[in-house]
Amino acid sequence: MCYGGQRLPSKDDLTDPTRRTRTLPAANENVVVVENLRDRLAETEARLERARAREAELSRQLEEMKRYVCVMEILECYLKRRYREQQVRTLAVAVCQSPQTCRLPR
């Protein structure tokens, strides 16, 4: 997954007082940490929702392609059979001296 150029804050980033410009009371500090976690959770849930939607779309496309391939296989089989039948008729015409005396397959 791509998280952009940002790195997730570490525990030290959230609790080390030297990293903050002002010192917060412990209760307020917990509120900040909880809000940060809620924001990250919301972002994760949004990414998960997008991933599920993409997966559903790809699954739909895969099923559509499977049906297409199945139809193409049926057509290929039909065309091969027709080609063989045509070859047999052509060969029968070439072998017969007189088409009136030979019975040609249809």
Q: Is the pLDDT of residue 54 over 90?
A: yes
Task: Kindly state the average pLDDT of the residues 55-69.
Answer: 98
Task: Residue 92: name the closest of 83, 84, 102 by CA.
Answer: 102
Residue type, 37: L
pTM over 0.95: no
- Report residue 96's pLDDT band, with 50, 70 and 90 as the boundaries: confident
- Residue 20 neighbours by CB distance under 10 Å: 13
Q: Which residue has the tokens 């089989």?
A: 77
> When comparing pLDDT for 3 and 32, which is higher?
32
Under the banding of pLDDT at 50, 70 and 90, the label for residue 97 is low
Secondary structure tally for the chain: helices H, strands E: 2, 0
Q: What was the pLDDT predicted at 7?
A: 64
At CA 66, angle to CA 61 and CA 70, rounded to 5? Answer: 150
* Stated length of the chain: 106
